[in-house]
Structure 1
């Protein structure tokens, strides 16, 4: 479902704008669907439906961010590569400019980053308990990478995701990547920013709401 389809759907939905704002608020505060349903006296199915819509919008927003990063070269020439380990499912991410960007096989703002990790970095990171991070230089002209050092570093992204997984009592394997992407968005931005962004995307920010 695209953004325009979502807005069209909401236009004819029975739910009131003020209620939708409250659903956004509780979503941003990371309430479970059950908790939000109890707070608003709505069915869990209804909340799950709107949570799915909100998560779809978040993915659209992240795609815009990745495009912006690529076009403006905001990582400059140096960044860190770390990894998240969830039940032996490894996901790598780039850390730069106080933001994190999960690397996937579909789209990345740095060319051939997956090949670089697999061929030159993965074994060193995963098989050495004394290191969990790589400092990398990227040559934009030659389109290649160079590891400057491997070292032990804090992994706040891992801690952040672990806390959310525990809160939701685990994550279905099929939804794992979506969970990581959502966690990435939450990690990168404040709750106030996410809330205002959602209201803007849903055309709800022209009215006030009291929670």
Structure 2
């Protein structure tokens, strides 16, 4: 079936665009399935593909040197081929051995970026907040944390302001992003470690494009980087 946004699709382009519009309105898979008349299993499959492409897009905009938050140099993205929608590798699973799930926030090229920090513990965060540099030096974590103006602990839904030297994130900017992220993740009634990365990148995408029509932005993204069910 011809669908320029989704290769190998069993749905018409019109029906897929309906699902995409409902996704852009931030409805749940259950709501989208009910409105569109498409099974929840199929909707979930499509939404995962969409979120993967969003994550790849966000990754493509990361600066080549994340320690330089003002850098405008972005990673080169290899366009997806007709046989695959994978332009960048995605490591979406967060190991169950990592507790809690912590991510950092920083600004580059007038956008907020996020990064999950598997080696950063709550004790490290608390040490930064208390300006206790000794534990950071002992655990060789200074370089991992100093690029971020804020870190968030998803286990406790808590945002920390690290007030790092050179941090450029306006407080209201980060607070607005964190408010959006907490609200969106709370809808899922618990974090699934196999999808938390995709949802985090979706929050990043939605926030950075908050002044745009998300549906039209997604259409443009998927026109240049079509999804593939293969």
TM-score higher than 0.5: yes
| CA RMSD, 1 decimal | 3.9
Shift in CA distance, 70/25, structure 1 to aligned 2, threshold 3 Å: same
2 CA distance for matches of 1:65 and 1:181? 12
2 CA distance for matches of 1:93 and 1:104? 9
* 1:75 matched to 2:70: yes
Q: Are the aligned partners of 1:92 and 1:103 in contact in 2 as well (CA < 8 Å)?
A: yes
Partner of 2:126: none
Deviations 1:82-110 (CA, angstroms, capped at 9, x unpaired) = xxxxx94321110356521113469xxxx
Q: Which has a greater percent of helix?
A: 1
Q: Which stretch of structure 1 is more off in the superposition, 24-33 or 176-185?
A: 176-185
Where structure 2 has 5 or more consecutive residues not aligned to the other structure, the ranges are 73-98, 119-140, 225-230
CA offset at residue 15 of structure 1? Answer: 0.4
TM-score (norm 2): 0.56
Which of 106, 111, 116 is 2:143 aligned to? Answer: 116
Structural mapping, 1:36-115, within 5 Å: 36-66=32-62, 69-70=63-64, 75=70, 88-95=100-107, 98-104=110-116, 115=142
TM-score (norm 1): 0.61
Partner of 2:11: 15
Other structure's SS at 2:190 match: coil
Q: Which protein has greater RCO, CA pairs closer than 8 Å, 6+ apart?
A: 2
1 CA distance for matches of 2:16 and 2:23? 10
CA offset at residue 119 of structure 1? Answer: 7.4
Other structure's SS at 2:195 match: helix
Q: Which has a greater percent of strand?
A: 1
* 1:34 matched to 2:30: yes
Shift in CA distance, 191/28, structure 1 to aligned 2, threshold 3 Å: farther
Shift in CA distance, 43/133, structure 1 to aligned 2, threshold 3 Å: same
Shift in CA distance, 120/182, structure 1 to aligned 2, threshold 3 Å: closer
Other structure's SS at 1:31 match: coil
2 CA distance for matches of 1:121 and 1:190? 22
Partner of 1:208: none
4+ runs deviating over 4 angstroms? 117-122
